[in-house]
Amino acid sequence: MKNKMQEQRESLPIFPFKQDLIAAIREYQILVVVGDTGSGKTTQLPQYILEGIPNAIVAVTQPRRIAAISAAYRVAEETGTKIGDLVGYSIRFEKVASKNTKLQFLTDGTLLRTCTTDPLISQFNCIMLDESHERSLDTDVLFGLLKRACKQRPELKVIIMSATLDIEKFQDFFDAPVFSVPGRMFEVDVLWQKTIKFQTLKTTFVQRCVETVMHIHKTEEPGDVLVFLTGQQEIERCAKNILDLHKELNYNLVRHRDSVKDMVVYPIYSSLETLQQKAIFEKTPKGVRKIVLATNIAQTSVTVPGIRYVVDCGFVKQKMYDHKTHMDALLVVPISQAAATQRAGRAGRTENGKVYRLYCKEAFQEMSPTTVPEIQRSSLLGTILYLLKIGIKDVLNFDFIDAPDPELVQTGLKQLFYLGAVDKENRLTHLGKIMSDFPVSPFLSRCLISSSQDFQCSDEMCTIVALLSVEDFYIQPRSEKDQALAEEKRQEFYDSSGDHVTFLNIYNAWRDSGYSQDWCRDNFFHYRALNVAKNIRSQLLSAMKQHKLEIYSLTHKQKIPPSCRQPILKSLCSGFYMNTVKKQKGKTVFYPYIASLEGQSTLLFLSPQSSLTKIDQDRLDWVIFNDVQFVTRPNMRITSRIDFEMVKVLFGRVDIKHHKMEEEFQTIREVIDPMHNEEHGLRNEVHSNQVERPVD
Ligand code: CDP
Ligand code: MG
């Protein structure tokens, strides 16, 4: 007798094509497979290959960690094996696989890192690039590398999987046939907003989502709801408001009072915990409506069954390279038409459905037809460093499916030069080689190296870098009472230099609690996120040791004493000195230092979450930040106060153009001009024995 899971597998749209797919894979070296989301590409095709291709060792890439993990768990379950045995996964900082593993789900970044020591990816003989339509930066680089590897390894099989029919590009680039799996789509009614400007919608979409969900819950027939939102904060806010309204709801007045009596709300954002709540994938009990609040991840990567109603807010949070700050910023931007179609399609998987679009038809027409590939809208620092590392010297002429803007490549090279990773001829330096070996961004690896070589605080820096590599670990409590309590509890960890040292205090206090889960709950921190940081920290420590970078510790005290701040902040400056800003006196705006000197400038603000918002704003002068998040205005996230002396000496490498500065840059000019007149060029080095001015 077939079990339930076997039945489910055989009911998927891909199942009837099993033998044809195996035959096509046997015949062609590269195959493009297209099929609607939910047809079974990710979970089934790798299993067909294990069955049909002898001695297959399969790698399947995913653009997101959460998708790699959840696919691995699902396939392990379907094959009746333990995770890490036949089926495993490997993501940055975490590998669950063994000698027996024949199928591994990896993020595309992880597969790329494998290529640095094994450019032909010889440990696998079948590589499947999943979610290719997403065109992540790493997938795009893999396209080029795999094309090369195929020429040299005739036995290698490559499968490009995509959810959209827009595949001519792949077909041309790889010169490969396309196998398309017809989807099973039911009709989806599209409901438009009457007239609304994107600008208005942008500031109100969370509330509009709440109202739409309540409308659906009160008036529509049974069926689950999937809401597309932009990120963790928006999702949590939406969840809170929906649950509040639901509490007040009088079911006696609801039209479908007999059929729908209750609701459950599940958020999905890039956090494993929420996806491991299996309830998301299970059938909702009768009389209960499931409301799933998701980021873009539910557009194609994760399929939630039973969805009949989709609410599409029309926006996505996207990485965008900002020419003015020379930084990647997270921006909330309108989605593309292709994305809107994908989102709507999620409503018609099991029966006829409806999509509530929170924008109007005219706005849809104004959307760009497809999403711009990441490679054309992000900083290329990491990618360039990577390509140089694997011996591709002429980055501009690498075989990209869509070449990046040459100007972006130039900027990337320039920034790598500032960091000391490449020389004037764009050749990788010794420092650059070490930097590229670290599984973190070049900015962060530069801080780590400096913290060991120049400032003897590498133990502390490993903690900070680990914490900067995880998602937000602060819990934002829902009730105002808890918010006040959280604020009070966290006061204890606060350091007046800003967020970086505060992070360190938090981690140390958690360490001294014995890495306790209760401690996290009591102090309103995400236990899972801190645990990930702990894991990353130990990997960073071993990477340091591997490169013979000494681990020094400034203090064993739980709370960092003021005397220890300087080395920590200086190490941070050596990686992030491009992110130095100066506050305008009497105002709340900051100017990015280098961008201003190069003639472009944009105003930046402190993020409301920054601990620097708590101090007297007149005391702020120079600040460094980790990144910029743009919602209604560009906010600097994770900030610390620095002393200009800390970075001044680093600016020797910066090629400052003479230009007419506006009046408000007077203060900057006063500092920069004396520097410029110095006879001897400043070197990209900082000496720890310099006389220092304390931050406070
Ligand atoms: O990759 P594709 O979108 O084509 O489909 P898939 O991820 O292989 O998922 C196929 C089906 O498996 C989905 O429609 C879900 O019903 C089911 N599935 C699940 O129940 N739990 C998971 N963790 C993943 C998939
Ligand atoms: Mg898939």
Ligand nearest to the CA of 131: 2
Who's near 75: CB < 8 A, 6+ residues apart? 43, 46, 47, 87, 103, 105
Mean pLDDT of 390-406: 90
Whole-number Å distance between alpha carbons of 620 and 440 = 29
Q: How far apart are CA 299 and CA 460, in angstroms?
A: 39
Whether residue 339 has pLDDT greater than 90: yes
- How far is Cα 104 from Cα 98, in angstroms, rounded to an integer? 10
- CB 345 less than 6 A from any atom of ligand 1: no
Q: Please choose, from the candidates 241, 238, 297, 235, the residue with its C-alpha nearest in 3D space to the C-alpha of residue 272.
A: 297
Higher pLDDT, 379 or 517: 517
Q: Is the CB of 74 under 6 A from ligand 1?
A: yes
Q: What is the mean pLDDT of residues 75-79?
A: 95
Give the whole-angstrom CA distance, residue 75 versus residue 130. 15
Residue 27 CB partners (closer than 8 Å, separation 6+): none
DSSP three-state, residue 571: helix
For residue 638, how many C-alpha atoms fall within 13 Å in the half-sphere facing its CB? 21
pLDDT at position 4 is: 86
How far apart (Å, rounded) are the C-alpha atoms in residues 291 and 307?
9
* Ligand nearest to C-alpha 40: 1
SS3 letters for 363-416?
HHHHCCCCCCCHHHCCCCHHHHHHHHHCCCCCHHHCCCCCCCCHHHHHHHHHHH
Task: With a cut of 50, say whether residue 576 has pLDDT above it.
Answer: yes
Residue among 10, 47, 303 whose CB has most ligand 1 atoms within 8 A, to mutate: 303
Please tell me the residue having the least CA distance from ligand 1 atom 8.
40
- The amino acid at residue 482 is D
pLDDT per position as a tens digit, 635-684: 999 999 999 888 877 776 666 543 333 333 444 444 433 333 333 333 33
**How many angstroms separate the alpha carbon of residue 83 from the centre of ligand 2?**
19
Spell out the SS3 assignment of 63-110.
CCHHHHHHHHHHHHHHCCCCCCCCEEEEECCEEECCCCCCEEEEEHHH
Cβ atoms of 272 and 66 within 8 Å: the answer is: yes
Q: Give the Cα separation of 554 and 540 in Å (integer).
A: 17
Cβ-based neighbours of 185, under 8 Å, separated by 6 or more? 36, 345, 348, 349
* Averaged pLDDT, 119-125: 94
- Three-point CA angle 465, 468, 471, nearest 5°: 145
Tell me, what's the pLDDT at 94?
Answer: 83
Pocket lining: 305 vs ligand 1, CB cutoff 6 Å: yes
Phi, psi angle pair for 123, to nearest 5°: -75, -10
> Per the structure block, which two tokens stand in for 683?
């070197």
C-alpha 89 to ligand 2 mean position (Å) = 15
Could you tell me which of 466, 557, 566, 485 has the C-alpha nearest to residue 524? 485
- Measured between alpha carbons, how far is residue 464 from residues 5, 243, 623, 628 in Å? 44, 36, 17, 18
| Structure tokens, 52 | 């049909």
Q: Are 163 and 35 in contact (CB under 8 A)?
A: yes
Does pLDDT of 59 surpass 90? yes
- Proportion of the chain above pLDDT 90, given as a percent: 59
Query: What integer is the mean pLDDT of 3-12?
Result: 90
Quote the ligand 1 centre to 547 CA distance (angstroms).
42
Q: Which structure tokens are listed for 607?
A: 């993020």
Q: What is the mean pLDDT of residues 354-366?
A: 94
37 lines ligand 1 (CB under 6 A): yes
374 Cα–ligand 1 center, Å: 25
Q: Which DSSP state fits 428?
A: B
Pairing type for strands 126-129 and 58-62 reads parallel
Is 499 in contact with 567 (CB distance < 8 Å)?
A: no
Pocket lining: 42 vs ligand 1, CB cutoff 6 Å: yes
- What's the rounded mean pLDDT across residues 82-107? 94
Is residue 479's pLDDT more than 60?
Answer: yes
Alpha helix segments (H runs only) across 79-193: 108-117, 137-152, 168-174
Q: What is the pLDDT of residue 340?
A: 95
- Average pLDDT of the chain to the nearest whole number: 87
Nearest to residue 605, comparing CAs of 615, 618, 591? Answer: 591
Q: Is the CB of 44 under 6 A from ligand 1?
A: yes
> pTM score, two decimals?
0.82
The bound ligand whose nearest atom lies closest to the alpha carbon of 17 is 1
Atom of ligand 1 at shortest range from CA of 43: 8
Q: What is the mean pLDDT of residues 209-218?
A: 96
Alpha carbon distance 124, 270 (integer Å):
27
What letters, b where the CB count within 10 A reaches 16 and e where it falls short, cover 580-607? bbbbeeeeeebbbbbbbbbeebbbbbbb
Residue 274 reports pLDDT greater than 70: no
CA of 61 relative to ligand 2 center, distance in Å: 10
Which residue type occupies 181? Answer: V
CA 97, distance to chain mean position in Å, is: 24
Give pLDDT, residue 203.
Answer: 86
Beta strand extents in 523-579 (DSSP E only) = none
Query: Is the C-alpha dihedral spanning 650, 654, 660, 661 positive or negative?
Result: negative
pLDDT of residue 655: 60
Report whether 631 contacts 617 (CB < 8 A): no
pLDDT tens digit string along 485-541?
999 999 999 999 999 999 999 999 999 999 999 999 999 998 878 988 998 899 899
Ligand 1 pocket residue status of 183, Cβ below 6 Å: no
- Kindly state if the Cβ of 43 falls inside 6 Å of ligand 1: yes
pLDDT digits (tens, 9 = 90+) for 589-608: 998 887 777 666 678 999 99
